[in-house]
Amino acid sequence: MNDRNHAVVQTLVSAKDVALGVVNCAGQTLTIMPGQVIGLLGKNGAGKTTLLDGLLGYTFLNAGEVTVFGHNPTELPAEVCSQIGFVAQQDDLMPWLTGSEMLAATRLFYKHWNYDLADRLVDRWSVPTWQKISEMSVGERQKLALVAAMAHEPQLLVLDEPAASLDPLARRALISELIDIVADGERSILLSSHIFSDIERVASHIWLLEKGSITYQGGLDELKESVVRLHLTRPLQVTASLALTTRHVIRTDISTGRETWIIRGWNEALAAECAAQITSPYQVEALGLEDAFVEISQ
């Protein structure tokens, strides 16, 4: 097998030039590789759910091409479907079944079902499996949907805001399960969430969706390091023009005696330019993921 074939086999999901609904990723290729945990971030209405639906073949694309395990996602063979676990933002559980009946029905679709894992998750999350789904709370339904998506140990787990209705204990349990899932480097997770502390705990990579377009695809740490606040003392004294730096300033706050630049694309070259040319005191403030997202999205 040559390197090119090897790369194709290894890529779990590839999405090129995808357009559907508000999503327009013309000129962009998104990939999910084994072992990656991708946090999909974006404001309300950015198109996260739309993109996930397109990647999994639940919605037809207007343009572009997606492959999932090398197949068109609208025509996935059964053995590929069994390698995918999905929890939708709004669950589609059958309300007339009890939790146990629902899990029993779900496992009929899979050759592999880890009974111990399902029992452990039900126990850990105190899912009332004897109750009818229609009588469960929103959080209990979300936990049941997670058990159903995880018990067949899929190679690709796709979660659309999986923790939105979970209490902090259940959320922590979910994150530790997700960390265990990817520990062997073989399985991958794509999850959208507005809970940035969760994303920071579990994600290796980030897809940042802004108004339907991916504006960042890369490592979590690299994203955090690329957005800084530069706090400058006024009046600002520079020895030459800061052409490179100022091109990357996305916002400026000015108050008495202080000036703050929000810089996107911070790197060694910009740091060196500032160090060489700004003679008045200044500090560089590194940001957490949530602050970086807020600054980028304003």
Ligand X SMILES: Nc1ncnc2c1ncn2[C@@H]1O[C@H](COP(=O)(O)OP(=O)(O)OP(=O)(O)O)[C@@H](O)[C@H]1O
Q: Which stretches of the chain bind ligand X, using CB under 6 A?
A: 21-22, 42, 44-50, 89
Q: Give the residue with the Cβ less far from ligand X, 211 or 231.
A: 211
Q: Give the residue with the Cβ less far from ligand X, 21 or 219.
A: 21
Tell me the closest approach of the beta carbon of residue 1 to ligand X, in angstroms. Answer: 38
Tell me the closest approach of the beta carbon of residue 239 to ligand X, in angstroms. Answer: 45
Phi-psi region of 219 (alpha: psi -120 to 50; beta: other; left: phi over 0): beta
Q: Give the residue with the Cβ less far from ligand X, 22 or 97.
A: 22
Q: Give the residue with the Cβ less far from ligand X, 52 or 262.
A: 52
Tell me the closest approach of the beta carbon of residue 284 to ligand X, in angstroms. Answer: 31
Which amino acid belongs to residue 131?
Q
Strand partners, 259: 232, 254
Strand partners, 59: none
Tell me the closest approach of the beta carbon of residue 58 to ligand X, in angstroms. Answer: 11
φ and ψ at 64, to 5 degrees?
95, -175
Q: Give the residue with the Cβ less far from ligand X, 39 or 128.
A: 39
Q: Give the residue with the Cβ less far from ligand X, 42 or 128.
A: 42
Tell me the closest approach of the beta carbon of residue 16 to ligand X, in angstroms. Answer: 19
Tell me the closest approach of the beta carbon of residue 126 to ligand X, in angstroms. Answer: 27
